[in-house]
Amino acid sequence: MSADHPAPASPANDAEPVVITVDAADPRYGFGVDVGGSGVKGGIVDLKTGELVGDRFKITTPQPATPDAVAATVAQIVDHFGWTGRVGITLPSVVAGRIVRSAANIDKAWIGIDPYELFGRHLSSPALSVLNDADAAGLAEVEYGTNDDAVDGVIIMLTLGTGIGSAVLLPGGQLLPNTELGHLQVDGEEAEAQASSRAKEVNEWSYKHWAGKLSRVLAEYEMLFSPALFIVGGGISRKAHKWTPLLTNSTPVVPANLRNTAGIVGAAMAAEAGMRP
């Protein structure tokens, strides 16, 4: 096959996922694809509940994760469901002005490309939305995972993993896109270098020591944004009971609820809303 049409990637699932057919023209449903450094996953979303309709479908991210290789994988996932409607796609990148501005855990060839032109060549979708993965997760978490009606003010979602992804949601759920707070300098060092879950693992820090680092980073975010709530996702959020009581910053911190589906759900929401950051 040509470089523009790479060979299809292999599914990462051991078992074939359950596929439930829905009418793509029905406004109750949307479709999202979440592109990550290790896997590309997608599925049909019930936009009323924020739940997946049937199972998600995951394929190992092609290596190298070049634009056309990833786009072909996204097309394979969409075709798997027979989906013909709007599609939302997340990238581990800053996406602004129809241009990919950064590339984390994907090939650097992404930087500077128009993702709409790219995915438009691979998909037959009538409309596309492409946005940062943390922004998508934040949109989903605020809409479906958190009782934000009880929160009066700015909500910041952070994904603590290899780095720190961030989404800033203004009152009313309006997204401030591409904040990249993990790269903010705190005490002369990038926030994610000291407060990501990877930093904890690499340095073999105790929860108490790491919580002190995270508290300092959160306090810096508090000074800048005066948030009403922090929502924290990533694998370490599953053990939030071990470290949230150790935090010393002022703003409440709660674990994310949607976990691995947040990117898919947020992508579907963005597509339905016609978002084009």
Structurally, at CATH architecture level, domain 29-136+261-273 sits in 2-Layer Sandwich (3.30)
Q: Pairing mode, if any, of strands 39-46 and 29-35?
A: antiparallel
122-156 burial: b if 16+ Cβ within 10 Å, else e: bbebeebbbbbbbbbbbbbbbbbbbebeebeebbb
* Contact (CB, 8 A) for 256 and 237: yes
| CB of 42 closer than 8 Å to CB of 56 | yes
* Rounded average pLDDT per 10-residue block, the chain, 277 residues: 45 60 86 94 97 95 97 97 96 96 93 98 96 96 79 93 93 92 96 96 98 98 97 92 97 92 97 91
pLDDT of residue 160: 94
Following DSSP, what letter does each residue of 106-164 receive, concatenated?
S-GGGTT--HHHHHHHH---S-EEEEEHHHHHHHHIIIIIS-GGG--S-EEEEEESSSE
Contact partners, residue 72, CB within 8 Å, separation at least 6: 5, 6, 8, 9, 62, 122
The DSSP annotation for 184-219 comes to: SEETTEEHHHHHSHHHHHHHT--HHHHHHHHHHHHH
Chain centroid offset of residue 94 CA: 11
Asked if the domains 29-136+261-273 and 148-256 are classified in one and the same CATH topology, the answer is yes
Predicted pLDDT at 71: 98
Instruction: Write down the pTM of the prediction.
Output: 0.89
Cα separation, 267 vs 91, in Å, equals: 10
Nearest residue to 83 (alpha-carbon basis) of 28, 27, 125: 125
Q: Distance between CA 174 and CA 131 in Å, rounded?
A: 14
Class of domain 148-256: alpha beta
pLDDT for 277: 79
Domain edges within the chain: 29-136+261-273, 148-256
